[in-house]
Amino acid sequence: MKIGLSTFITDEGIRPADLGRAAEERGFDSLFIAEHSHIPVREETPYPGGTELPRIYYRTLDPFVALSAIASVTEKLLLGTGIALVIQRDTIHTAKEAASLDLVSNGRAVLGVGAGWKREEMRNHGTDPRTRGALLDEQLRAIREIWTKEQAEFHGKHVNFDPIYAWPKPVQPTLPIYIGGEGEAAQRRVVELGDGWMPSASRQPTDLAETIKSLRDRAGRHIPVTLFGVSDLGVDLDAYEAAGVERVLFFLPTQPRSESLQTLDTFAARITR
């Protein structure tokens, strides 16, 4: 079982380089960071947690900038977006940013993506919430074309461009795309377009085992599974491993440097146990 971290990196918390260095020193295998470009002041879509939206949502650093800073001070730590809101991003720029991160980290990048939930945020980027799933599917296909072809082109309903030159290409033979989300649309996306699945920590091992088996059977291949955002340090890791989960990401609260280091020490003790 691999143990990593998921968190929101903001201007009010520990700096990216300090966090990355500390995580690697304590033996964590990976660090996945969240993204929100902004949060509209006037909200209509309720926060999934059922309470007021935490301020970390509108103070996040750009994930590719933050992860590049972390890459510069680490050697082994896997660096992922958890998740990148690709539907709110330019497709060609996103392909370049992810490939650039893979290059500067010497092949340690993972592009974690999802369809998002904040409709007002999407609309401010010109994204229609009703068609965001179809948009994401085309974006992922187009990004792979850019990563793998000398002259890449894509012609879809939502993403369309004639042949282009675009470098760098990823260092890894395939820069992994991990799909977040748990509905049928997300599961189909895992099978058709994903290199891994990131379900939330709310899923119980028995239930998760059935879904993992189904996804792998449908895909006809092994699909790595990373359990995302675990806040309970006492979680039964053996049960999740038996269910087919290969990595667990403990959720690290966003805190100043000293408090973050203390929390990381507590998490590291859990790894040791």
CA distance 247 to 1: 6
Specify the number of domains making up the chain: 1
Question: What is the phi/psi pair of residue 249, to 5°?
Answer: -105, 110
Q: Where are the beta strands (DSSP E) in 165-245?
A: 177-180, 196-198, 226-230
User: What is the CB-side half-sphere exposure of residue 89 using CA atoms within 13 A?
Assistant: 27
CA distance 102 to 70: 12
CA distance 180 to 116: 9
CB of 83 within 8 A of CB of 35?
yes
Token couple for 178: 């991990």
Model confidence at 203: pLDDT above 70: yes
CB of 203 within 8 A of CB of 225?
no
Interval 164-178 mean pLDDT: 97
- Structural domain of 149: 2-272
In terms of Cβ atoms closer than 10 Å to its own Cβ (0-12, 13-18, 19+), residue 66 is buried
Predicted local distance difference test score (pLDDT) of residue 272: 74
Predicted local distance difference test score (pLDDT) of residue 50: 62
CB of 101 within 8 A of CB of 138?
no
Partners of 80 in the beta sheet?
A: 32, 110
CATH code for the domain in which residue 213 is found: 3.20.20.30
Question: What residues contact residue 117 under an 8 Å CB cut-off, 6+ apart?
Answer: 45, 48
Model confidence at 48: pLDDT above 70: no
- Strands ordered across the beta sheet of 226-230: 196-198, 177-180, 109-113, 78-81, 30-33, 2-7, 247-252, 226-230
User: What is the CB-side half-sphere exposure of residue 13 using CA atoms within 13 A?
Assistant: 24
Specify the range with the lowest mean pLDDT, choosing from 29-33, 39-43, 92-96, 265-269: 39-43
CA distance 259 to 242: 33
CA distance 157 to 213: 33
pLDDT band at 51 (very low <50, low <70, confident <90, very high): low
3-state SS assignment for residue 69: helix
- Other beta carbons within 10 angstroms of residue 268's beta carbon come to 17
Predicted local distance difference test score (pLDDT) of residue 49: 62
Q: Report which secondary-structure segment, H or E, holds 163.
A: strand 160-164
pTM summary value: 0.95
CB of 79 within 8 A of CB of 108?
yes
CA-based torsion, 18, 21, 26, 32: positive or negative? positive
pLDDT band at 273 (very low <50, low <70, confident <90, very high): low
